[in-house]
């Protein structure tokens, strides 16, 4: 449960960073960013695999580039579900998915590095 909450918080920070850098993304407040993070996590867990399975021929034909379209669809679904989260265009959705992935991945690596260093210091004693 702590991992889920930590990941949701890190993803919400990434969502706020994407909102700051992109004009085509509008998020009303921090609570909306948290809700967007949870909804994106749920959509990526349950809906995205089904979309990937349904679009395997397109994905193979485009050498995997169709997965970008699936990411855009997931962001648009989240914008339809969460009030206060608006996406202006397909390009904004694509850039939003890139920024959220990059920032959340960076933050997760940073947190994990801190945990490993902390555990190593504890083991030294």
Q: Which residues pair with 87 in a beta bridge?
A: 25
- Quick check: helix, strand or coil at residue 88? coil
Give pTM, 2 decimals: 0.89
Residue 4 has pLDDT above 90, yes or no: no
pLDDT in tens, 84-109: 999 999 999 999 999 999 999 999 99
CA dist., res. 28 & res. 19, Å (int)? 10
* Contacting residues for 114 by C-beta, under 8 A, at least 6 apart: none
User: In this predicted model, which residue has the larger pLDDT, 113 or 19?
Assistant: 19
| Beta carbons of 113 and 12 less than 8 angstroms apart | no
Q: For residue 22, what are its two tokens?
A: 């992109």
pLDDT in tens, 34-78: 999 999 999 999 999 999 999 999 999 999 999 999 999 999 999
- Quick check: helix, strand or coil at residue 49? helix
Confidence label for 125 from pLDDT (cuts 50, 70 and 90): low
- Quick check: helix, strand or coil at residue 28? coil
- Quick check: helix, strand or coil at residue 25? strand
């Amino acid at each position: 449960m702590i991992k889920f909450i930590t990941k949701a918080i890190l993803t919400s920070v990434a969502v706020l960073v994407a909102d700051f850098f992109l004009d085509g993304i509008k998020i009303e407040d921090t609570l909306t960013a948290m809700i967007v993070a949870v909804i994106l996590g749920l959509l990526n867990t349950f809906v995205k695999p089904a979309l990937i399975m349904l679009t395997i021929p397109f994905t193979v034909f485009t050498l995997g580039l169709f997965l970008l379209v699936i990411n855009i669809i997931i962001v648009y679904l989240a914008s339809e579900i969460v009030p206060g989260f608006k996406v202006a265009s397909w390009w904004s959705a694509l850039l939003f998915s890139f920024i959220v992935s990059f920032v959340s991945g960076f933050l997760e690596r940073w947190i994990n590095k801190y945990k490993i260093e902390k555990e190593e210091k504890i083991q030294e004693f």
